[in-house]
Chain A
Amino acid sequence: MIEFKLPSLGADMDQGKLLQWHVQPGDSVKRGQVIAVVDTSKAAVDVECWDDGTVHQLIVLPGETVPVGTVLATLLAPGEAAPAATGGPAVLATTGPEPAKPAAATPVAAAAVAAPTRPPVSPSARKRAQELGVAVEALQGTGAQGAITLADVEAAASRSAATAPLDRAQAMRRAIAAAMSRSKREIPHYYLSETIPMARALAWLQQRNEDLPITERILPAVLQLKAVALALRRVPQLNGYYRNEAFEAVDAVHTGVAIALRGGGLVAPALHDVGTKPLVQLMRELADLVQRARAGSLRSSEMSDPTLTVTNLGDQGVETVFGVIYPPQVAIVGFGSVAVRPWVEGGELRAVPLLTASLAADHRVTDGHQGALFLAELRELLQAPEKLEAA
């Protein structure tokens, strides 16, 4: 008995909804034949059968949503006789169970046993498929003996890029939903926040900007990004990825910058090597990144490289951001608005521009102690803005 299971059709797919069966019990099927249509979070996908055989039972009915790996149907291998009594209520057949012709065992059966039960995939194809998020076993191989080759994977990736879903906003909503659900499901977040006086930083920035043409003036957000990158040098455990049950530190700081898109949704592409670039350059690159993010022309490295995300909702007047970590990153830094508020300094009550910085971090990697060190360092760096100028 061959089990036909719901394959994973994308990196973020954990379940699928069966839309339609193309076969009925008793139909003989060929390897590679499309036998079902499954709706993933991205699109309706034709699902192929991996084996030659005869459909025995359809277990999942159209309309049902089931996890990846669920047995959708059972097939009889060529020459295999149907079990004496199936008796399962899940058989979908208006005329009752119609077992395959109980053909006597034929010599074909032996060959069927020896045949591989999964399609051959070359090592480089498998590796590339993982990188591109292509469900490799769903592809039709063109190599020797039907093997799935590197070229097949790359062709599939460019095909799926070409046939982008029609409703982009909806697809993006779903992608965000998948990533954020995974984050909240897998990552034990802890949250810290810190109020940072910004008088010195803003005064310094104003002076600094006097020397610059209007088009190159540095926004406070850039100062914040640079301060985050430098503070991470003190607490490098916040910069990197959590994969395979272990933290992988990354030396360079590529901050993901959360950018809201006009049509709804958001992206958080990487601003590369923030810790080592002068402010003027960061400002130029940030402006370029925002523009391209909104034009929909980001580069793949920008999508895959962020080592920590920074989200700034200050423009909306929000005071504090409680971020959700973008997996596999291990922290997100949030900035609220800079607003003049009461503040006690040296025993005196004063009106001071204040900024609330928050940190949401992965408790599997760091503890509140490290998070607190990071926020303290961030605060100190913003008190000495001239230090943020160079690398």
Chain B
Amino acid sequence: MSRRISYREAVREALREALSQDARVFLMGEDVGRYGGTYAVSKGLLDEFGPERVRDTPLSELGFTAAGIGAALGGMRPIVEIMTVNFSLLALDPIVNTAAMLRHMSGGQFSVPIVIRMATGAGRQVAAQHSNSFEGWYAHVPGLKVLAPATVEDARGMLAPALADPDPVLIFEHAQLYNSEGDVPDVVQVDITRAAVRREGRDVSLITHGGSLPKALRAAEELAALGISAEVVDLRVLRPLDDATIMASVRKCRRAVVIDEAWRSGSLAAEVMARIMEQAFYELDAPLARVCSEEVPIPYARHQEEAALPQVDKIVATVRTLLGKDA
């Protein structure tokens, strides 16, 4: 049996489950309590679990993220919510220098079992300073595990294994996904090690994650109407990348397009392409291609914002060019 719920509800259910099952778990962040979360994810949780366990914080990402790391070191299982990935840059130091490295720096004496959730991505006309996709930056850092739930089921199921992990785990929720709906089985059990093939195909692999997954799936639909069979790979886990699933798909389709909402230079898309070159060069039947955001601050105006981001038509056009079948 399965139920149809929204991505937002899925995250809330996962939080509620974690708070109910483990007394060491608490949620903190800006406006997560009385306001119910900027994206209304934690609505009702304050009433249910009280101010000790659902804590509003001052507007200091550096302060409350570092406090969460301290709590994790002290034996708690904190879930820190950062409103958007842009604001997390204020907390880069505790995340990278402390959370990711403390196990190493302490010679294995300390681990930091913290989960940090944040919204990422553009598309809601919130302008340049609230619209980036910096998850690839975090995927650069050894010591962090980086997750990008793109489906409702993953949104519901990734928190529990993330909390069970003894090391810091970052979960990136694309802000445009919160209203999406999907089926969730009664018993949710997802792993946080493998990428997932969301649609089978044979002519081209569309490799993507997060908020670009629905676009890639729609593009695959349009391509099918043109007689091009596209496979869609959802990376799910951005660090460590699941090379085996990526290469299996590339070896089958022999062509790949990476879709990544981040800027292209030095991006996660670049990393995926480099790995394909290292591991599957002789299987390729066309140059690799990618669809990323334009290298500009994400514009506020709707038409400009849409033009700056990966879109279904750009994916379709890129695939057609790759196959020598441009209109």
Q: Which residues of A contact B (CB under 8 A)?
A: 122-125, 127, 142-145, 147, 149-151
Contact = CB atoms under 8 A, between A and B. Distances in A.
B254 A150 contact: yes
Contacts of B285: 122-125, 143, 149-151
B321 interface: yes
A142 B324 contact: yes
Contacts of B284: 122-124
Given A124-B254, A150-B254, A144 B282 contact: no
A55 B323 CA distance: 33
Contact of B283 (A123, A145, A149): A123
Contact of B281 (A123, A150, A151): A123
B286 interface: yes
Interface of B: 254, 281-287, 321-324, 326
Contacts of A124: 254, 282-285
B62 to A, nearest CB: 48
B324 A143 contact: yes
Nearest to B325: A144
B324 A122 contact: no
Contacts of A147: 286, 324
A27 to B, nearest CB: 29
A26 B183 CA distance: 70
Query: Do most interface residues of chain B lie in helix, strand or loop, or is the interface mixed?
Result: loop
A333 to B, nearest CB: 35
Closest 7 A-B residue pairs measured CB to CB? Answer: A144-B324, A122-B285, A143-B324, A150-B285, A124-B285, A123-B282, A123-B284
A137 B284 CA distance: 17
User: Most chain-B CB neighbours within 10 Å: which of A145, A149, A151?
Assistant: A149
A124 B252 CA distance: 12
5 contacts: A123-B283, A123-B284, A143-B324, A144-B321, A144-B323
Most buried by B among A123, A145, A149, A150: A123
Nearest to A125: B285
Contacts of A127: 282
A122 B288 CA distance: 11
Output the residue of B283, B322, B324 with the most chain A CB within 10 A.
B324
A149 B321 CA distance: 14
B278 to A, nearest CB: 13
B282 A143 contact: no
B284 to A, nearest CB: 5
B279 to A, nearest CB: 12
A336 B284 CA distance: 50
A24 B215 CA distance: 55
B41 to A, nearest CB: 44
Contacts of A150: 254, 285
Contact of B324 (A123, A125, A145): A145
Nearest to B289: A144
Contacts of B281: 123
Contacts of A151: 285
From B254, B285, B286, B323, name the one whose CB has the most chain A CB atoms within 10 angstroms.
B285
Contacts of B324: 142-145, 147, 149
A141 to B, nearest CB: 8
A145 B285 CA distance: 13
Contacts of A122: 254, 284-286
A334 B321 CA distance: 57
A232 B9 CA distance: 69
Nearest to A144: B324
Given A123-B282, A123-B283, A149-B286, A143 B323 contact: yes
Nearest to A126: B282
A122 B286 CA distance: 6
Nearest to A149: B285
